[in-house]
Amino acid sequence: MNWIEIIIHTTNEAIEPISNILNDAGANGVVIVDPSDLTKEKRSKFGELYELNESHYPTSGVLLKAYFLNNDEWSIKKETIQENITNLQQYEIDIGLNKMITREVQEEDWENEWKKYFKPIAVTDRLTIVPSWETYQKQHDDELMITIDPGMAFGTGTHPTTVLSMMALEKVVQKNDIVLDVGSGSGVLSIAAILLGAHHVYAYDLDEVAVNSTIINRDMNHFEENITVKQNDLLTNVHQKANIIVSNILADILLQLIDDAWNLLENEGYFITSGIIKSKEQMVKEALENKGFFIEKTNELDNWISFIAIKSNKNSR
């Protein structure tokens, strides 16, 4: 079976919205090629090092590689993708060069593409993400392993916004907590919450492919009884109360979530928000505080912001 590989040269800020566009168009896999990976410390505290080939990476910006069946619908899809990406500029999203190239590839080529860029990686002090095709042994007693198959357009769990979310979960999850994961994507945050001690996670995503991806990874980690996955538009018509709500989505969409998050959180519950580019930090911060949330912690990684907010009166702290 032949596939079309589409390569888009864009910015880190545009990774998630463009990935959503590609997924909506029917992408059968997306790879993020970020040159910052070449400069980050890749050696874990246990001494493991995964070498990366510099020739695979752009000198600036990032590359998104997506894969589509090579059929009669491709030319129409390509035009739609180009138009939708260009339209992101009206939301003040920097799309950078927005350069697109395509080529025909064999099925085994795109299936193996994941393996060039995705190796086991410790993303927090305790959480390690392991691709399903790798054999990996725990390096210390407290290590918690999340096995995932990225499969579709929801990444490997190592994007800064996801890492920030997992770091926050590691700080706040308590035994028997109920967690809502809004915009679950690959399901990696839901799995992390259970591993950290949560009693049950309700994972929601509007996209059917994301829902299926969450289910696949949930089952791969044997958490069928602990994670409930549903297709849903943010928290619309959700009535489940929670101790923690975590949402790794774009800043403008987060604003639509704040009222429902406040209503569904138990008192002193945590609202973890990520997916916030630095330029929109103040906008989200003010919206959270205006609702009544107290910002307990602000974290930053590679120009991305995450808030740990508490449903509490700021003046009482």
In this prediction the pTM is 0.77
DSSP assignment string, 156-212? -S-SHHHHHHHHHHHHH--TT-EEEEES-TTSHHHHHHHHTT-SEEEEEESSHHHHH
Identify the pLDDT of residue 279.
Answer: 86
pLDDT digits (tens, 9 = 90+) for 136-152: 888 889 999 999 886 54
25 vs 184, more confident: 184
Identify the pLDDT of residue 42.
Answer: 43
- Cα angle 103, 217, 212 (rounded to 5 degrees) comes to 70
**Cβ contact 156:120 at 8 Å:** no
CB neighbours of residue 290 within 10 Å: 9
Identify the pLDDT of residue 127.
Answer: 95
Identify the pLDDT of residue 210.
Answer: 83
CA 110 to each of CA 4, 8, 103, 157, 268: distance values in angstroms, whole numbers, following the listed order: 9, 15, 11, 19, 46
**Domains of the chain with CATH codes:** 2-117 (3.30.70.120), 127-316 (3.40.50.150)
pLDDT digits (tens, 9 = 90+) for 245-288: 999 988 888 999 999 999 999 999 999 999 898 889 999 999 99
**Cβ contact 152:29 at 8 Å:** yes
Which pairing describes strands 200-205 and 227-231: parallel, antiparallel, or unpaired? Answer: parallel
Phi and psi torsions of 277, nearest 5°: -70, 150
- One-letter-per-residue 3-state SS of 82-144: HHHHHHHHHHCCCCCCCEEEEEEEEHHHHHHHHHHHCCCEECCCCEEEEECCCCCCCCCCCCE
Mean pLDDT of all residues in 85-105: 90
Identify the pLDDT of residue 113.
Answer: 62
Identify the pLDDT of residue 101.
Answer: 93
pLDDT digits (tens, 9 = 90+) for 113-126: 666 667 788 889 89
